[in-house]
Structure 1
């Protein structure tokens, strides 16, 4: 009995010390994440600008926001960006990771090349792709003219019908290297003996990829989807540097809409309402995806 009592005291002390070590990080999280979030949600109930006392307006900011066509356009464009980023980043990231994992000739070189966009600032990437999309001397239009498709040339960022998809392509290109590394790390954790056993059983090439490799990285795929979704909802830097949401709001997203309302028009309460909607959208998408992934697990083939 004395031994059991000593063990209980040790467990209790361990829990107390664990809580003590967790408190500084928890306090910091509350101070820099929880409290500012509560403050932003609270500000969304007020009509206020810098240097002025806020006036409580309840849900009026939200009513105005949902009635604004520009907000609805920004919300739609955000979901287009989300879907486009997912279509580009995850498949290409996995393909590049798999090719590098199989150690084809030049794989180390391409691993570095694919990751380069991740170490460049968004402003540098925006300037680079603005030149690519230039109507007069840009690489894209020059290539189209060279292959006899001059009728397809256009001011890609200056045309409301092509500005959004042009930006989506750049956002996808920028983060392919990140998901390549994530998938590559997942592939490298798979024991090599599994692949050897699969080859002995005749599972090679596409069959091995489908039956062995893909199921073993499914958890990484789920994580990548959540990262893409939550990142796309709050994406801002590159879009603002390339188009500032234009022309005519054709490439605006929720983050750029919030920036315009908050910092250009000085409607901080209204911007707080937009930020609150972004938070809710992110939470709904993240929680919804987690529930979907938990309900539909993939089994090893």
Structure 2
């Protein structure tokens, strides 16, 4: 089968489309014929070598963690899917014609394979952040980076729970953030004052999804570093802010909850750009700009 692999750390150019042996589903796993794979920031950071201390690799290695496709092999002990089912979920080396998933759920009929492929990591990340802080009805939260993949679904999950959401985004994305159900506000100097005008009762929790250097302002708005969480600023601990990672977290509940809302028409995660498998490097380069509304995905014919 064709798969994207790299033999050394570096820029997007180190990714090659090569012929490799197809993987097989082990116990508790399924294999899918991949229709599309989501592009996450973690993947280009792994490829660039930024994550060696946390996720050391034996090179050459494949890349990719999210996918949507058709189940074509079911591992021992799996009883909730059959060959031919359309699913989306997470596994390893998903930039490929076939990939093994360790977490999955049924793809809603109204959601395309491309849209579904972009969902697993944002679903898990957004719900992890909200659940860990106990966000619910009556809370006012601030999302820094509300127009990105995680931000888009975090707004919708939080609104579904009854929270009031203030979404920080660039000028071009103000209407988009509002369409998701958040109160939009722009980045830049004066953020604290703008947010206080919008939320005179204060902000209960703030989540940094963009890593744009605003943690001091988020701490000021919430009244304490313990009410701020980042997934994007590796210097968060210097300010007493928790840095949240999803390694070894169970994703299935988040996949099912996101799928439930999508089926009900209360969850959307638009695909901004698609790239063919052979252009995975270009897809990661686009992701690395950090100015993406919604999701980027790699498609497999």
Does TM-score exceed 0.5, indicating one fold? no
Superposition TM-score, scaled by structure 2 size: 0.22
Superposition TM-score, scaled by structure 1 size: 0.22
RCO higher in structure (CA 8 A, sep ≥6): 1
Greater helix fraction, Structure 1 or Structure 2: 1
- Larger-gyration structure (1/2): 1
Greater strand fraction, Structure 1 or Structure 2: 2
